A = this chain, B = another copy of it.
Amino acid sequence: MSVTAAQGFQAAGIAAGIKENGNPDLALVVNTGPRRAAAGVFTANRVKAAPVLWSQQVLKAGELRAVVLNSGGANACTGPQGFQDTHATAEKAAEVLGVGAGEVAVASTGLIGVTLPMDRLLPGVEKAAAELSAHGGEKAAIAIKTTDTVHKTSVATRDGWTVGGMAKGAGMLAPGLATMLVVLTTDADLPADELDRALREATRTTFDRVDSDGCMSTNDTVLLLASGASGTTPGSEEFAEAVREVCADLGRQLIGDAEGASKDIRVEVVNAATEDDAVEVGRSIARNNLLKCALHGEDPNWGRVLSAIGTTSAAFEPDRLNVAINGVWVCRNGSVGEDRGLVDMRYREIVITADLAAGEASAVIWTNDLTADYVHENSAYSS
């Protein structure tokens, strides 16, 4: 289903030869209208890949006709040549689709610091355009994979309209977005500012709270395109909720497929003075390498949770902190609580609850354990 679940969209995914192994590596998503409203959210990294710089500019007009996505190369840290290559990609798509280059967003993923093989990429755009189909969503989702073991799609269907989407991302997941490319589509009829509001609110509490390894990418891109093909204009709240649902589902799939991970860890921070405090504490716990190793070893090492909380500026008193692991309150009032032997950690999902006893705000951050497989995958990635 993916990006073609909503009416008014076509997609394709093909092998252009960018990846040396011959796997699919180029996707095209086209909005056939009647509306072209669009919004985007991009990495907060100050070192931004060429396609991010391009797509940010394009989106200022609030309209998109198409998105070209490639795996097999991030086109980041590639200087003026990289920007020219992104521009040429948009021009090529514009030419074959009969639209303007300023209506085409570009997204790339793969190794940083390597220029793209344009002699293969540009013919690939033509080939993808020839294969565009209202059923091409799955193929598009497959073509944007890098080290992902599965492709990720999600759909939320409402009364008369739909939000669908695809995502890729399996490492370098971090706030300010994960290393991910996400394209969401809807056949709802909504203006760009409404899409922008819904998308920002959704990513703030979903993708921005997925923090697999604390590393922030140069390429993260989340786009939302609206065709208006359903002829329906949902209420703002209702629409925002559907977008959030799809983003949350895709975010959960990203964590479930994170490189080398053996555990999916839900960090719940409760009774914080503010939501910002809750997020800061959640991130600090999610990024603690020692804790992530302990959880990999199924060791309910709550001392490392407290140690991580103690590095934050959040409001709390050390002797009022409580921590539960999988529902067992192993730390009460900053000290030894229930028997840690009661904690059952055999399953893939682990829930850590940190009670700051400082207010009523809360937040959830998702992360993974740290494993030897993670080290292996990331030490061998480019060689």
Binding site for B on A (CB under 8 A): 44-48, 74, 76-82, 111-115, 171-172, 176, 213-218, 287-290, 293-294, 296-299, 301-304, 306-312, 316, 318-319, 321, 331, 333-336, 370-372, 374-383
Contact = CB atoms under 8 A, between A and B. Distances in A.
A311 B45 contact: yes
Contact of A297 (B298, B318, B380): B380
A216 B310 contact: yes
B218 A293 contact: no
Oligomer: number of copies: 2
Task: Tell me whether chain A's interface is mostly helix, strand or loop, or mixed.
Answer: loop
Given A218-B307, A294-B382, A335 B374 contact: no
A45 B313 CA distance: 10
11 contacts: A79-B335, A79-B336, A112-B304, A113-B306, A115-B336, A172-B290, A213-B289, A215-B304, A293-B375, A371-B375, A372-B372
A149 B214 CA distance: 29
A45 B310 contact: yes
Given A46-B318, A113-B336, A383-B299, A378 B311 contact: no
B376 A301 contact: no
Contact of A77 (B113, B298, B336): B336
Given A44-B311, A214-B289, A293-B378, 16 more contacts: A45-B310, A45-B311, A47-B306, A74-B303, A76-B306, A76-B307, A77-B303, A77-B331, A77-B335, A79-B333, A112-B301, A113-B331, A171-B290, A293-B377, A297-B378, A299-B383
Most buried by B among A294, A299, A303, A335: A303
A215 B299 contact: no
Contacts of A298: 383
A124 to B, nearest CB: 23
Contacts of A297: 378-380, 383
Contacts of A309: 46-47
Contacts of A383: 297-299
A172 B375 CA distance: 18
A46 B316 CA distance: 9
A287 B335 contact: no
Given A79-B333, A111-B303, A306-B47, A372 B376 contact: yes
B112 A294 contact: no
A274 to B, nearest CB: 17
Contacts of A307: 45, 47, 76, 112, 172, 215-218
Contacts of A79: 319, 333-336
A-B pairs with lowest CB-CB distance, top 3: A112-B303, A297-B379, A47-B310
Chain B CB within 10 Å, residue with most, of A114, A297, A319, A380: A297
A82 B379 contact: no
Contacts of A372: 372, 375-376
Given A334-B47, A372-B376, A382-B294, A77 B176 contact: no
A375 B378 contact: no
A174 to B, nearest CB: 8
A140 to B, nearest CB: 26
A96 to B, nearest CB: 29
B334 A77 contact: yes
B218 A310 contact: yes
Contact of A374 (B111, B293, B321): B293
B113 A311 contact: no
Given A334-B79, A383-B299, A318 B214 contact: no
